Amino acid sequence: MVIMTIMRKSLGQRAGRSTISILALACSIALLLVISHIHEAVRSYARQVSSGADLIVGAPSQPVHLVLYSLFRIGPPPPVIPWNIYKEIAALEDVEWAAPVSTNESHRGYTVTGSTSRYMETLQLKALNFIGASGSGTAFRNHRSAFIGASLAADYQPGETLTIANGFSPSLKDEYQTPFIIQGVLMETGTSLDSNILIPIEGLRKNRKAHGIKNDYLNFILIKLRYRHSLFKVQKVLKSTFNTPLEVVIPAFELEKLGHYQRMLNNVFMAMSFIIGLLSLMMMYFNLSAGFAERKQEVELLRMVGVRPWQLAGLTLAEPMLQILFALCSGVLIYKVSTLFLGGWIPVLSSIALPVEQLLWLLSLFLLGFLVACWPAWRMYGFSRRT
């Protein structure tokens, strides 16, 4: 099949010039896919995490800040609220469970989070247990158990003990006497939780009492309701019942507000990568058009030896289509490799596969490329017929 040889060798001859446009197209495709992937992964993670808790209660502050800190550990911790509030909330009929969280202690600069297993489940934390239980699980074995974040795993061994202190710049007198024993290591989350130490809040409270702290406190409470339809009612009750001023937020609502900005940002990035894709297609088109003038004599010769117009048009169409196909495959490959690397860095990204709808971007670029390639092929067909 000499036509195939002509196509292969002709492609080879123009390889240098084509490489840049193929690379640009591949990069824009990879960028499109990576952006879509990050967007989808963050959205799905936020949706999952926020669906775990119906309400979050904390000291008065910006609702978005409270949600971001309590679910994703972004921003500074909210001010403390009295422990009694938790007791009263947990006793409410509409409340299925409430998870108190305290982040006021530290160990050698690492934040110590005191909470319950519910909190760990809500944040979808997974841990490798080394003591007492095989496999994974996030249940504290006893009041002195501790889970360390993934970043601390290199410095601490399971079974080692660690002591905690009140505050973040503690003096010797702030140090609590009873040590905690490392039960396991939390799997990487990509958030600042990776450098946290999680301990049971009951154990923390005992330590505080032993240290002489009388007024117990916590930073925020996650609440799951028995019935979702009582959401606004409970929110209103919580805001009005207590003497202490409280912020009671619905995480799903606050995340939805943030989601709007995230979508906007995502669309801007998507549009930019799509424009890069279009530019590389245009580059491909100009390469083809420039080549067309050069190839007129070659076409005349091929016509003289019996090559048909549709064969020449097919050659002209096949060349850019092969380039686009190659760019698409390379783009997908770059995307796969980059998500593999990004997945190690931001574990949330590994949690989803790219939805099929995102492949529409690829299809639309391919179709656009086809249209771009059709024009020179049509010109070639017309020229061949006249020759």
Partner 1 sequence: MTNVQAVAIQDLEQRIGDTEVLRIPELVIKAGETVCIQGGNGSGKTTLLRTLVGLVRSDSGEVLVLGNDMRTIGTSTLERFRADAIGFVFQHYRLVPYLSAFDNILLPCYFSPKRRCEAERKSGTAAEDAIRLIRKLSLKDPSRLSKNAAQYSAGQQQRFAIARALIGKPEMVLADEPASAMDSRGKKAVYQLLQDECRASGATLICTTHDENGVDGFDRYVDMDALNLARERENRWSL
Q: Is 291 left (phi over 0), alpha (psi -120 to 50) or beta?
A: alpha
Q: By rule CB under 8 A, what string of x and - marks binding of each residue 103-142 to partner 1? A: ----------------------------------------
Is the Cα dihedral 211, 212, 217, 219 positive or negative? negative
Residues 306, 345, 356, 357: which binds partner 1 (CB under 8 A)? 306
Give the nearer residue to partner 1 in terms of CB position, either 253 or 378: 378
Give the nearer residue to partner 1 in terms of CB position, either 212 or 306: 306
Which structure tokens are listed for 350? 């590994």
Angle at 286 between CA 284 and CA 289, to 5 degrees: 110
Residues 126, 308, 375, 379: which binds partner 1 (CB under 8 A)? 308
Q: Residue 297 interacts with partner 1 (CB under 8 A)?
A: yes
Candidates 6-14, 47-55, 64-72, 269-277 — which segment interacts with partner 1 by CB under 8 A?
6-14
Candidates 5-13, 25-33, 76-84, 109-117 — which segment interacts with partner 1 by CB under 8 A?
5-13
Which structure tokens are listed for 232? 């606004």
Q: Residue 17 interacts with partner 1 (CB under 8 A)?
A: no
Residues 172, 293, 304, 356: which binds partner 1 (CB under 8 A)? 304
Q: What is the DSSP letter of 191?
A: S
Q: Residue 243 interacts with partner 1 (CB under 8 A)?
A: no
Closest CA relative to residue 164, chosen from 200, 124, 118: 200
Residues 5, 157, 169, 240: which binds partner 1 (CB under 8 A)? 5
E-strand stretches of 90-194:
95-107, 110-115, 127-129, 145-148, 161-162, 165-166, 180-186
Please report how close the Cβ of residue 26 comes to partner 1 at its closest, in angstroms: 25
Q: What does residue 154 show for φ and ψ, rounded to 5 degrees?
A: -70, -30
Q: Which residues contact 36 (CB under 8 A, 6 or more apart)?
A: 266, 270, 354, 358, 361
Candidates 4-12, 90-98, 313-321, 336-344 — which segment interacts with partner 1 by CB under 8 A?
4-12
Q: Which residues contact 274 (CB under 8 A, 6 or more apart)?
A: 28, 32, 361, 365
Residues 167, 298, 353, 378: which binds partner 1 (CB under 8 A)? 298
Residues belonging to the chain: 387
Q: How many residues bind partner 1, per CB under 8 A?
A: 21
C-alpha–C-alpha distance, residues 205 and 214, integer Å? 10
Question: Taking a C-beta distance cutoff of 8 angstroms, is the pair 59, 246 a contact?
Answer: yes
Give the nearer residue to partner 1 in terms of CB position, either 3 or 68: 3
Residues 13, 84, 244, 289: which binds partner 1 (CB under 8 A)? 13
Q: Residue 300 interacts with partner 1 (CB under 8 A)?
A: yes
Residues 309, 332, 352, 354: which binds partner 1 (CB under 8 A)? 309
Angle at 116 between CA 145 and CA 207, to 5 degrees: 55
Give the nearer residue to partner 1 in terms of CB position, either 6 or 128: 6
Interface residue list for partner 1 (CB under 8 A): 2, 5-6, 9-10, 12-13, 297-298, 300-309, 385, 387
